[in-house]
């Protein structure tokens, strides 16, 4: 199956079912979309708002519309010439409510003899041969257990009872002791958990799709969709959690040979997608990072760093924060995973080292890993790098490390696989969910797939990255916002303006930090950047974000043991932003200063993403300006009726190209025109070559031609660093050299040829989208 010209991501849930998606198909077609891209559809935990906690692989979730809803959405998509892409979850299942998950229920009821014993990654060597379920509160007592209707109950929690393990009159506590599971305190999830989870989420139990029967059973329905022609593309959630990602992807490609397959693979700086994966590419975080850094000026890095250190007292570098974040995760919420690997090592090579020394060595290696995982044996160089770092950092562990290395380098399958699964989880939690909230020099760079140590890129560097993308990943997805991004693309577009402001921003930040002190100045710096990026969003949304962000940072408070005084201080600062006239005025002045340059960045970043090599995805609602923060904020309801009406208005014969203002209509117009030309003129996007700009402001202009050979194709030209451009005198005599011939701007209708003055090209919009006239 050929890649779609573009995708539009929809979050399917109770409040936006498959029937609603069907009703939206006409709008998506009119917008210019090539494919309807749906979040997970299989039955999930009741009330799930995201669908990644699947409880049954055999049916579409009734709360999301069931199979009738799916068929209706597909029929509507086909009626409007749209392909269909679905998000699937091979790594884990939802087990928050055991009674809703037949496989998990049977495992708990029958233990190792269950027909589903091979489904789940349980270490039966731990927990005295039982599955440890960390659900009990700190005040647990045996009298809180009851037996009701043949089930063991703990408040609202229900668990099965093994056949023959309960007789009339038995005390519930005694019945509990006879089960194939053991209810334990919730805090033990960090240290004693003996089933693999998605990261540290005990309600998401890992499944073993490396076992052929498990793969077949868990993918039968999805493959039926593909084989019956109702699905054209598949997005793979979290492949790095699997025992054998490459093997899994080969099986899937064999079973769905015509499907467009992309993977949610997070690549670190300098890392590429494994060459032996039979997929079209990633879900686009690598592209997001390339576009995001284009909006930053490398020359501003030193000033940004100096100001951050002066204002917050945080003098640690990004690598130091990353190391600390990963170490925190490895020694707390994911310690159980490392202890499990140590048990596997002891089983494979008894006596190699004491258990605590094994755990220490494994912890140091995981912390030192520079990527999610190494994919042994091909990635042995990554392991060698980590070994070298740890040997230098902790020489007393050198002997244990040397003994461990052969096992980790594919010497023992269980040890190798478990370690690779653990390094990915520790990277994700330690980096994205901890260090990203601690190192706050420029929070717009702290995005999934990004590199907070870097600070912008040159125009030449961006072009080099796109030439490589065209060569290696021309069918990979590109994105700017997803359900997992820490901040939406338009929030980041505003945040990119702050370093351009220099002391205008740093002075404002200093006054805000003094006026509204919080227990951690680095977190205060994050908070005021958040206001600058998101603007005056609803107060309850800002409070919810502040709570999540400070607990993720775990530097003053945390999820396990919240510090009430610290959190009250942060919430008081949020309230003062809205209620204190002096603080509100200071912030409002900053937001108003940033706003127009943020609009410019939004349009520039969006047009680049929509026309760079790859298949662009538009996340629901982001065809207008969308100022969303981390989930669940970015999964809020979208006002599609507003978007329908705006788009219909733009399509009227007498309609003029909309102004660049707060309505976001200019962004909608840009998305519509770019997606439409992609869909209708694919031959214009066959290659990539930079277009040269000359003049004093040449570094503010990024332009490229997507034509192949000597034939020009779709031309993109955008403005970058808009505040600095204006502050230093504007475009002056800067020119863009177009290929031979005449070109029409699809946004304004103007026609251009030859050397075009940038001031004229960008007279109406800070961007231009040109086709051969």
Question: pLDDT per residue over 629-682, tens digit each?
Answer: 999 999 999 999 999 999 999 988 888 999 999 999 999 999 999 999 999 999
Query: DSSP code of 258?
Result: T
Confirm if 63 and 38 have CB atoms less than 8 A apart. Answer: no
Confirm if 188 and 195 have CB atoms less than 8 A apart. Answer: no
Q: Give 695's strand partners.
A: none
C-alpha dihedral sign at 646, 650, 652, 655: positive
- Structure-block tokens of residue 369: 């890993």
> Helices 18-31 and 665-680 sit at what angle, rounded to 10 degrees?
80
Confirm if 456 and 301 have CB atoms less than 8 A apart. Answer: yes
Q: Give 735's strand partners.
A: 694, 757
Q: Which residues contact 297 (CB under 8 A, 6 or more apart)?
A: 456, 499, 500, 721, 724
> Helices 398-406 and 380-393 sit at what angle, rounded to 10 degrees?
170
Q: How far apart are CA 93 and CA 56, in angstroms?
A: 8
CA 70 to chain centre: 25
What average pLDDT does this structure show over 481-500? 98
Please state, as a whole number, how many other Cβ atoms lie within 10 Å of the Cβ of residue 165: 17
* Domains of the chain, CATH where assigned: 7-91+209-283 (3.20.20.80), 98-206 (3.30.1590.10), 318-437 (no CATH), 681-773 (2.60.40.1180)
pLDDT at site 412: 86
Q: How far apart are CA 117 and CA 108, in angstroms?
A: 9
Please state, as a whole number, how many other Cβ atoms lie within 10 Å of the Cβ of residue 346: 17
pLDDT at site 653: 85
In 313-412, which residue ranges form alpha helices assigned H by DSSP? 318-331, 335-348, 355-368, 380-393, 398-406
C-alpha closest to that of 211 among 219, 203, 222? 219
In 43-171, which residue ranges form alpha helices assigned H by DSSP? 66-79, 102-110
C-alpha closest to that of 323 among 194, 435, 409? 435
Q: If pLDDT is split at 50, 70 and 90, which confidence band does 411 have?
A: confident
C-alpha closest to that of 236 among 198, 268, 279, 205? 279
Burial of 377 (0-12, 13-18, 19+ CB in 10 A): exposed
Q: How far apart are the first and last CA of the chain?
A: 31
Q: How far apart are CA 729 and CA 323, in angstroms?
A: 43
C-alpha closest to that of 548 among 449, 431, 627, 437? 437
Q: What angle do CA 599, 600, 602 make, to 5 degrees?
A: 65
C-alpha closest to that of 186 among 200, 196, 176, 175? 200
What average pLDDT does this structure show over 414-419? 95
C-alpha dihedral sign at 45, 51, 53, 56: positive
Confirm if 203 and 46 have CB atoms less than 8 A apart. Answer: no
What average pLDDT does this structure show over 112-117? 96
Nearest 5°: phi and psi at 469? -60, -45
Q: How far apart are CA 224 and CA 207, in angstroms?
A: 21
Q: How far apart are CA 634 and CA 619, in angstroms?
A: 10
pLDDT at residue 727 above 90? yes
Q: How far apart are CA 748 and CA 760, in angstroms?
A: 12
Q: How far apart are CA 326 and CA 432, in angstroms?
A: 10
Nearest 5°: phi and psi at 17? -85, 180
pLDDT at residue 219 above 80? yes
- What is the pTM assigned to this prediction? 0.96
Q: Which residues contact 393 (CB under 8 A, 6 or more apart)?
A: 364, 368
- Residues making up the chain, counted from first to last: 773
- Give the mean pLDDT of the chain: 96
Would you call 422 helix, strand, or coil by DSSP? helix
pLDDT at residue 1 above 80? no
Nearest 5°: phi and psi at 634? -80, 5
Question: pLDDT for 29-84, tens place per residue?
Answer: 999 999 999 999 999 999 999 999 999 999 999 999 999 999 999 999 999 999 99
Burial state string for 112-133 with b = 16 or more CB within 10 A and e = fewer than 16: eebebbbbbbbbeebbeebbbb
- Percent residues over pLDDT 70 in the chain: 100
Q: If pLDDT is split at 50, 70 and 90, which confidence band does 376 have?
A: confident
Please state, as a whole number, how many other Cβ atoms lie within 10 Å of the Cβ of residue 187: 14
Compute the radius of gyration of the chain from its Cα atoms.
27
Question: pLDDT for 589-624, tens place per residue?
Answer: 999 999 999 999 999 999 999 999 999 999 999 999
pLDDT at site 713: 97
pLDDT at site 380: 85
Phi/psi-derived region of residue 70, left when phi > 0, alpha when psi is between -120 and 50, beta in every other case: alpha
Check whether the bond before 456 is cis (ω within 30° of 0).
no
Q: If pLDDT is split at 50, 70 and 90, which confidence band does 2 have?
A: confident
pLDDT at residue 627 above 90? yes
CA 356 to chain centre: 34
Q: Strand 615-619 to strand 477-478: parallel, antiparallel, or no bridges (unpaired)?
A: parallel
Q: Which residues contact 356 (CB under 8 A, 6 or more apart)?
A: none
Burial state string for 100-109 with b = 16 or more CB within 10 A and e = fewer than 16: bbebbbbbbb
Check whether the bond before 121 is cis (ω within 30° of 0).
no
Q: How far apart are CA 307 and CA 301, in angstroms?
A: 10
Please state, as a whole number, how many other Cβ atoms lie within 10 Å of the Cβ of residue 213: 11
Would you call 151 helix, strand, or coil by DSSP? strand
Q: If pLDDT is split at 50, 70 and 90, which confidence band does 94 have?
A: very high
Confirm if 535 and 629 have CB atoms less than 8 A apart. Answer: no
């Amino acid at each position: 199956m050929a890649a779609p010209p573009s995708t539009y991501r929809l979050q399917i849930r109770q409040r936006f079912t498959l029937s609603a998606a069907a009703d939206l198909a006409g709008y998506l077609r009119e917008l210019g979309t090539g494919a309807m891209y749906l979040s997970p559809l299989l039955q999930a935990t009741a009330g799930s708002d995201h669908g990644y906690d699947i409880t049954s692989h055999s049916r579409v979730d009734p709360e999301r519309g069931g199979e009738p809803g799916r068929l209706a959405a597909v029929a509507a998509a086909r009626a409007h010439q749209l392909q269909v892409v679905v998000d699937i979850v091979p790594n884990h299942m939802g087990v928050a409510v055991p009674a809703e998950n037949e496989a998990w229920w049977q495992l708990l009821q029958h233990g190792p003899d269950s027909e589903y014993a091979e489904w789940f990654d349980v270490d039966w060597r731990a927990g005295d041969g039982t599955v440890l379920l960390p659900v009990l509160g700190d005040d647990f007592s045996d009298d809180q257990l009851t037996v009701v209707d043949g089930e063991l109950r703990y408040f609202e929690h229900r668990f099965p009872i093994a056949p023959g393990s309960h007789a009339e009159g038995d005390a519930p506590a005694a019945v509990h002791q006879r089960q194939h599971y053991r209810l334990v305190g919730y805090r033990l999830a960090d240290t004693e958990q003996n089933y693999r989870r998605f990261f540290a989420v005990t309600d998401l139990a890992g499944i073993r799709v490396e076992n052929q029967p498990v793969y077949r059973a868990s993918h039968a329905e999805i493959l039926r969709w593909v084989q019956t022609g109702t699905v054209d593309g598949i997005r793979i959630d979290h492949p790095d959690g699997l025992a054998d990602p490459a093997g899994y992807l080969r099986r899937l490609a064999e079973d769905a040979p015509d499907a467009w397959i992309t993977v949610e693979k997070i690549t670190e700086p300098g890392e590429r997608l494994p060459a032996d994966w039979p997929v079209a590419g990633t879900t686009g975080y690598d592209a997001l990072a390339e576009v995001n850094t284009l909006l930053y000026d490398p020359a501003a890095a030193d000033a940004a760093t100096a100001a951050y250190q002066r204002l917050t007292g945080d003098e640690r570098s990004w690598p130091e924060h990353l190391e600390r974040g990963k170490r925190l995760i490895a020694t707390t919420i994911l310690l159980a995973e490392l202890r499990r690997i140590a048990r596997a090592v002891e089983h494979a090579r008894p006596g190699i080292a004491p258990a605590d020394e094994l755990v220490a060595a494994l912890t140091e290696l995981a912390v030192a890993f520079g990527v999610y995982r190494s994919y042994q044996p091909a990635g042995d160089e990554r392991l060698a790098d980590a070994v070298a770092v740890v040997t230098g950092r902790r020489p007393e562990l050198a002997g244990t490390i040397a003994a461990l290395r052969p096992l980790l380098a594919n010497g023992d399958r269980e040890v190798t696989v478990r370690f690779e699964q653990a390094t990915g989880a520790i990277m994700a939690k330690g980096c994205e969910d901890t260090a990203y909230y601690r190192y706050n020099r420029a929070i717009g760079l702290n995005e999934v797939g990004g590199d907070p140590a870097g600070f912008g890129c040159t125009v030449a560097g961006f072009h080099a990255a796109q030439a490589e993308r065209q060569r290696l990943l021309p069918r990979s997805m590109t994105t700017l916002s997803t359900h997992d991004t820490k901040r939406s693309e338009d929030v980041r577009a505003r945040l990119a303006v702050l370093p351009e402001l220099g002391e205008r921003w740093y002075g404002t930040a200093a006054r805000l930090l003094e006026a509204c002190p919080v227990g951690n100045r680095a977190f205060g710096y994050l908070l005021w950047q958040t206001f600058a990026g998101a603007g005056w969003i609803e107060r309850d949304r800002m409070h919810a974000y502040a709570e999540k962000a400070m607990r993720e940072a775990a530097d003053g408070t945390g999820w396990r043991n919240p510090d009430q005084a610290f959190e009250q201080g942060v919430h008081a600062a949020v309230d003062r932003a809205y209620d204190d006239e002096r603080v509100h005025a200071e912030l409002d002045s900053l937001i108003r200063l940033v706003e127009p340059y943020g609009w410019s960045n939004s349009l520039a970043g969006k047009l680049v993403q929509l026309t760079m090599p790859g298949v662009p995805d538009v996340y629901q609602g982001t065809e207008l300006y969308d100022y969303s923060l981390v989930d669940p904020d970015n999964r809020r309801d979208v006002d599609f009726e507003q978007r329908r009406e705006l788009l219909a208005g733009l399509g009227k014969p007498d309609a003029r190209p909309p102004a660049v203002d707060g309505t976001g209509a200019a962004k909608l117009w840009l998305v519509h025109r770019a997606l439409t030309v992609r869909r209708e003129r694919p031959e214009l996007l066959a290659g990539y070559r930079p277009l040269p700009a000359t003049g004093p402001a040449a570094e503010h202009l990024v332009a490229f031609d997507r034509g192949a050979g000597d034939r020009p194709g779709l031309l993109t030209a955008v403005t970058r660093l808009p505040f600095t451009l204006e502050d230093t005198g504007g475009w002056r005599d800067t020119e863009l050299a177009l290929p031979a011939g005449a070109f029409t701007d699809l946004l304004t209708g103007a026609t251009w040829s030859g050397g075009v003055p940038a001031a004229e090209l960008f007279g109406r919009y800070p961007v231009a989208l040109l086709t051969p006239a």
